[in-house]
């Protein structure tokens, strides 16, 4: 439990930073909804002139800019990139930080098993991701309700979209952890996290273009 508390305190600052950043992204973009929805038809006509491959890459095909959920779907793409980088950071740091700071031998010399150490670090990372997830939920519902301008929307599609965050976070956390176990020493996890997040995004974009 002491290891868990220590690890959670280590990630708490980054949790606050990522949570505030994602909240700010949702706030800034949602505040633009009224002006964009008013010219939705003109915007759709302009978007139709862009190459289909470009629209697929940015997830902007068949997007209804006049609806609050359609507009939020576009914003959610940027939130996913932030969530992917955060989860990857925690995954890469799970083991590599001890090797990088030469504290791995010190931890293993304590009367605590390897599995206990790894489990505590993993639970701390998952706790941090869960807090960020909750902030995204609150921010999404709050700002959608604030900027919808009287427009109605179905709650179910929004809930299903937000539920996908858990699997999304666990995927990048797991991939980052596996890579950190394979690579001997990572001097900095940020380049690896960004490469993984944007790399998976590009693979997804090109994958959609093949269908």
Query: What is the domain partition of the chain in residue ranges?
Result: 2-209
Read off the pLDDT of residues 148-189 as tens digits, 9 standing for 90 and up: 887 888 899 999 999 999 999 999 999 988 887 777 666 777
Range 21-27 contact pairs with CB under 8 angstroms and sequence separation of 24 or more? 21/82, 22/79, 22/82, 22/83, 22/132, 22/135, 22/136, 22/139, 23/135, 23/136, 23/139, 25/75, 25/78, 25/79, 25/82, 26/75, 26/79, 26/136, 26/139, 26/140, 26/143, 27/139, 27/143
What's the token pair of residue 19?
Answer: 């949570």
Nearest Cα neighbor of 90 from 48, 124, 57 is 124
pLDDT at position 211 is 41
Beta strands in the chain (DSSP E): none
Neighbour count for residue 65 (Cβ, 10 Å): 19
pLDDT at position 15 is 96
What's the token pair of residue 39?
Answer: 């010219």
Q: Would the pLDDT of 209 be above 60?
A: no
**198-203 mean pLDDT:** 78
What's the token pair of residue 179?
Answer: 């890579």
Read off the pLDDT of residues 30-78 as tens digits, 9 standing for 90 and up: 998 888 777 766 666 666 666 666 556 556 666 667 788 888 988 898 8
What's the token pair of residue 207?
Answer: 């994958």
Note if the pTM is more than 0.75. Answer: yes
pLDDT at position 188 is 73
For residues 175 and 20, give the distance between their C-alpha atoms in angstroms, rounded to a whole number.
Answer: 25
φ, ψ at 111 (rounded to 5°): -75, 50
Read off the pLDDT of residues 83-140 as tens digits, 9 standing for 90 and up: 999 999 998 888 766 555 544 444 555 555 667 778 888 999 999 999 999 999 999 9
What's the token pair of residue 62?
Answer: 């068949």
């Amino acid at each position: 439990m002491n290891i868990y508390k220590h690890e959670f305190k280590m990630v708490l600052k980054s949790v606050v930073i990522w949570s505030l950043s994602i909240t700010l992204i949702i706030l800034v973009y949602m505040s633009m909804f009224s002006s964009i929805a008013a010219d939705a038809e003109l915007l759709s006509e302009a978007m139709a002139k862009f190459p289909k491959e470009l629209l697929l890459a940015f997830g902007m095909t068949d997007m209804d800019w006049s609806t609050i959920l359609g507009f939020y779907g576009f914003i959610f793409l940027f939130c996913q990139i932030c969530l992917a980088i955060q989860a990857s950071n925690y995954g890469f740091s799970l083991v590599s930080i001890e090797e990088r700071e030469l504290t791995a031998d010190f931890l293993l010399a304590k009367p605590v098993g390897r599995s206990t150490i790894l489990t505590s670090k993993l639970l701390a990372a998952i706790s941090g991701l869960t807090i960020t997830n909750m902030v995204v939920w609150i921010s999404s519902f709050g700002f959608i309700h604030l900027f919808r301008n009287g427009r109605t929307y179905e709650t179910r599609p929004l809930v299903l979209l937000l539920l996908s965050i858990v699997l999304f976070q666990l995927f990048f956390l797991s991939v980052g952890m596996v890579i950190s176990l394979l690579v001997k020493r990572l001097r900095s996890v940020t380049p690896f996290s960004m490469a993984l997040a944007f790399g998976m995004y590009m693979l997804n974009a090109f994958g959609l273009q093949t269908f």
